[in-house]
Amino acid sequence: MDQAFDIQSYMTQGVERVVGDIIKATFKNPKESAYMARFALASRAASKKRGKAESAGEHIPPFLIASITSRCNLHCAGCYSRCSHATVDEAPVGQLTADEWLRVFAEADEMGISFILLAGGEPMLRRDIIEAAGKRPDILFPIFTNGTFLDEAYFRLLDKCRNLVPIMSIEGGKKTTDERRGPGIYDRLIGNMDALRERGLIFGASVTVTTRNIREVTNADFLKNLSDRGCKAVIFVEFVPVTDDSRELAPGDVEREYLAGEIGRLRREHPEMVYISFPGDEKSSGGCVAAGRGFFHINSHGGAEPCPFSPYSDINVRTASLREALRSPLFEALREGGFLDDDHAGGCVLYEKRAQVEALLNK
């Protein structure tokens, strides 16, 4: 990795670009644009906090991923989280309470973390935690949801708390989405998108990119359909192979090059939506930005993990602060040992190196 690379500047610029892009994408929605303009000011203040910490020798990432529940109502084909038993049908005991998550959010706010991605399981099963997130307007909370629990009460909450932005998972058209997520899911997603648009609420879409759907999800008709329904951001996430049988679904060099080219073109030609690629947008960062370089993950029981695809932890936020979690021996070993720099198959370098990560924990 180039020693001159500045991860703090890279991630700070990334935050500013995403916020700026969202402001441009919502200029026809005065209420949303007004909130995003206020958030832009808060984001700059947070960036100054992180910069001050950096000058004192402490690196604070701008992003946090919070898996607020282990429970999910769907059984999507090839789901990494279910294969790794991080997602189950009934939530086990011992998960963080809404008050505990509110403390985590307050700590993150104080440290200068600008984005907290709410994930699961299915995060909208924890309405209490999402309501708590709504009380931190200086943090933007994208909610990565399967879209099946949006209801009138949620529409009212999203209207009141504009820092809560649903990001709904979709695999392409009706046939492709229902094959992976279950019969009728596509129609429910489209219905919810239309309901959000009618209420003047912004939302985004999350697409798991495989060798089978890569052309479909970058197709002009698919993306225009999302845009016409009010979608303001599309997040492309490379499929992570969890079994040998699924390895052929993971994008290879040819598919990655194609996806990068398409995203570059979309950003130039269709600024009405924001396009983010993971891990494609990490390439210019000099490697993976997990383990606190650019983000880290808190699981539903409070364990601080490098990322959702690397479910290993040596510290828990129930008994430690977020700052202490970022300085955990595991995170420091991953950041300093070159584990995050290599290329990899599929969407996660740490998943490829899971045996080495496990060995670090057992030292």
CATH at 160 = 3.20.20.70
Domain coverage including residue 276: 7-361
Read off the amino acid at residue 326: L
What are 118's strand-pairing partners?
66, 143
Within a domain: residue 2?
Answer: no
Within a domain: residue 1?
Answer: no
152: CB partners within 8 A, 6+ apart: none
pLDDT for position 3: 42
pLDDT for position 284: 52
Q: Among positive and negative, which fits the CA dihedral 290, 292, 293, 295?
A: positive
Within a domain: residue 106?
Answer: yes
Strand intervals (E) in the chain: 63-67, 115-119, 141-145, 164-169, 203-209, 231-238, 274-278, 297-298, 304-305
pLDDT for position 252: 86
0.85 exceeded by pTM: yes
315: CB partners within 8 A, 6+ apart: 303, 304, 324, 325, 328, 330
Mean pLDDT by 10 residues, the chain (363 residues): 47 68 78 87 92 94 95 89 86 92 97 95 97 95 97 96 95 96 97 95 94 96 95 90 79 89 89 81 66 92 92 95 96 85 60 78 78
pLDDT for position 1: 37
pLDDT for position 276: 86
pLDDT for position 352: 74
Within a domain: residue 252?
Answer: yes
pLDDT for position 332: 94
Distance between CA atoms of residues 64 and 116, nearest Å: 5
pLDDT for position 28: 78
Domain count, the chain: 1
> Is the separation of the CB atoms in 141 and 163 below 8 Å?
yes
Distance between CA atoms of residues 296 and 334, nearest Å: 12
pLDDT for position 340: 77
